[in-house]
Amino acid sequence: MNMIKNISLFILALISATVFSLSALAQSDVSTSSVTVISIQGTIGPTTTNYINRGLETANERGDEALIIELDTPGGLLTSTQDIVQNMLASEMPIVVYVTPSGGNAGSAGTFITLAAHVAAMAPTTTIGAASPVSMGGGQQDSVMQKKIFNYSESFIENIAKERGRNAEWAKSAVRDGEAVTEAEALELNVIDFISTDLNELLIQMDGMEFEGDTLQTAQANINRLEESFAEKFFSFIMRPEIMLILTMVAIYGIVGEVTNPGAIVPGVAGVISLILLLYGSATMPINVAGFVLIGLAVALFIIEAFTPTFGILMTGGAVSFFLGALMLFQEFPKDMQLDWYWLVPATIMMVIFFGWIATSGIKAQFTGHRTGLEALIGKKAKVIDTVSQDGGRVLISGEYWNAISDQKIKSNEWCEIVQFEGLTVTVKPYTPNKEIDNGVN
């Protein structure tokens, strides 16, 4: 009897252990599925393309069920949108676009990207549409070019919609007529697949969907968020038009400041770095070349005013040229990225003030013959910064660095005596201690 009882207990324990093991295994299988989530907020640009590509690579490396793109954008560059859509259509990894948060929008370029997704979803009180190419860059084209861009954009979005089995007629109207709809209308029109209150609900809604013979298991998938890298955030930041305008001004200030005050170093370094960043941005963003030319002309007019006083005529011309150049510089950007007046007017005023100051106290003082001040320094002593010889050198005079020459070699940190000025070069000779020389000029 005891033996039968023991055998029964053993069988019961074995069954319990088996059930527990199977349950644990099932839980383990569910919990090992995962998705990668990236978040895109703001204008679509080159860094957005890089971010999405990195998200795809990460999702593939992890073996995730899908890549989910949380999207909230007013639009962006057509070229960047084309690159993103092409990569999405060619992806073997399921890509989900989720327009969120509430109040968000997949406008313009965002419409193309949402339609290109394998699964499209929107949060409550979001909108999609208004995909006319006039809001995706291109500035003010003539009617023929504008028609070509519209026709291309319309056929492009139609092909995307057909490829994903979505409403191609509505997609064309979003480009042709700028039509925009709510999430409920989008679902009814077969523009999206789901309305999801949050990401967890979306994962449940997606669960069980077939994709190229595989069934998505997302109901209890782990969510792995992939944030933008520092480089992506940085370059996205500097590609804003207002930041590029600031970089333009810093480049001008720094380089001109270094030329007018050789050896200051900091202005020159800041100017060159800003110029490099500006050139990088202009290589990846649709910068208007005519705008650059006008800004260059403005700088030239400002400098000529400093060399040859025209009682403000060239300064006025430079101000107008700079304003128009800054206005045109970002004309090819999407409308939401173009500069407003409250950026352009202060920038122009600051440029006039800067070069006005240069004209009155910098270049003008050295080139237009304030000889009385310079002649007063002849016979004074100066500090040698870089060894001076017949081949040149540098000295410090009244807090300013000057190129210097001397018939005799004078080592750095020694004192010298000013003999004469010629342009930006001063002739010096060794300082004689027993000679009475004013020591207060350095």
Q: For 33-45, how does the pLDDT look when each residue is reduced to its tens digit (9 = 90+)?
A: 899 999 999 889 8
Strands of 379-424, DSSP E: 381-389, 392-397, 400-405, 415-422
Phi first, then psi, for residue 429 (nearest 5°) are: -140, 165
pLDDT for res 216: 92
> Looking at the predicted structure, is the pLDDT value of residue 363 above 60?
no
Residue % of the chain over a pLDDT of 70? 82
Position 6 confidence tier, pLDDT thresholds 50, 70, 90? low
pLDDT for res 434: 65
Range of lowest pLDDT (20-34, 45-59, 119-133, 306-320): 20-34
Q: Which of 258, 289, 290 is nearest to 271 (CA)?
A: 258
DSSP string, 307-367: HS--TTHHHHHHHHHHHHHHHHHTTTS-GGGSPPHHHHHHHHHHHHHHHHHHHHHSHHHHH
> Sign of the C-alpha dihedral, residues 50, 54, 57, 63?
negative
> Looking at the predicted structure, is the pLDDT value of residue 16 above 50?
yes
Position 17 confidence tier, pLDDT thresholds 50, 70, 90? low
Q: Which residue has the higher pLDDT, 51 or 282?
A: 51
> Looking at the predicted structure, is the pLDDT value of residue 8 above 70?
no
Asked if residues 242 and 343 have their Cβ atoms less than 8 Å apart, the reply is yes
CB-based contacts of 368: which residues, under 8 Å, 6+ apart? 307, 308, 309
Q: Which residue has the higher pLDDT, 357 or 151?
A: 151
> Sign of the C-alpha dihedral, residues 208, 210, 213, 219?
negative
> Looking at the predicted structure, is the pLDDT value of residue 126 above 90?
yes
> Looking at the predicted structure, is the pLDDT value of residue 359 above 80?
no
> Looking at the predicted structure, is the pLDDT value of residue 25 above 80?
no
> Looking at the predicted structure, is the pLDDT value of residue 128 above 50?
yes
Phi first, then psi, for residue 338 (nearest 5°) are: -75, 150
Give, as one character, the DSSP assignment of residue 239. Answer: T
Task: Count the Cβ atoms, other than its own, within 10 Å of residue 238.
Answer: 18
> Looking at the predicted structure, is the pLDDT value of residue 334 above 90?
no
Domain 29-229, CATH: 3.90.226.10
> Looking at the predicted structure, is the pLDDT value of residue 13 above 80?
no
Task: Count the Cβ atoms, other than its own, within 10 Å of residue 218.
Answer: 26
Exposure of 24 in the CB half-sphere (CA atoms within 13 A)? 6
> Sign of the C-alpha dihedral, residues 311, 312, 315, 321?
negative
pLDDT for res 61: 94
Identify the helix (H) or strand (E) that includes residue 9. helix 2-31
> Looking at the predicted structure, is the pLDDT value of residue 396 above 50?
yes
pLDDT for res 21: 52
> Looking at the predicted structure, is the pLDDT value of residue 316 above 60?
yes
> Looking at the predicted structure, is the pLDDT value of residue 5 above 80?
no
What integer is the mean pLDDT of 305-314? 72
Asked if residues 32 and 62 have their Cβ atoms less than 8 Å apart, the reply is no
Task: Characterize the bridge pairing of strands 105-107 and 127-129.
Answer: parallel
Q: Which of 215, 97, 100 is nearest to 160 (CA)?
A: 97
- Judging by beta carbons within 10 Å of its beta carbon (0-12, 13-18, 19+), is residue 437 exposed, middle or buried? middle
What integer is the mean pLDDT of 217-239? 91
Taking each helix axis as running N to C, give the angle between helix 241-260 and helix 313-329, from 0 to 180 degrees, rounded to the nearest 10. Answer: 140
What is the topology classification, in CATH, of domain 371-430? Answer: OB fold (Dihydrolipoamide Acetyltransferase, E2P) (2.40.50)
Position 9 confidence tier, pLDDT thresholds 50, 70, 90? low
> Looking at the predicted structure, is the pLDDT value of residue 139 above 60?
no
pLDDT for res 28: 45
Range of lowest pLDDT (148-152, 239-243, 371-375): 371-375
> Looking at the predicted structure, is the pLDDT value of residue 27 above 90?
no
Phi first, then psi, for residue 346 (nearest 5°) are: -60, -35
Residue % of the chain over a pLDDT of 90? 43
Q: Which residue has the higher pLDDT, 240 or 218?
A: 218
- Sketch the domain layout of the chain as residue ranges: 29-229, 239-365, 371-430
pLDDT for res 30: 46
For the chain, the 3-state helix, strand and coil shares in percent, each to the nearest 5, are 50, 20, 30
Q: Which of 156, 161, 208 is nearest to 186 (CA)?
A: 161
Q: From its phi and psi, is residue 132 left (phi > 0), alpha (psi between -120 and 50) or beta?
A: beta
Query: How many helical (H) and strand (E) elements, i.e. helices and strands, does the chain have?
Result: 16, 16
> Looking at the predicted structure, is the pLDDT value of residue 29 above 50?
no
Q: Under DSSP, is residue 180 helix (H, G, I), strand (E, B) or coil?
A: strand
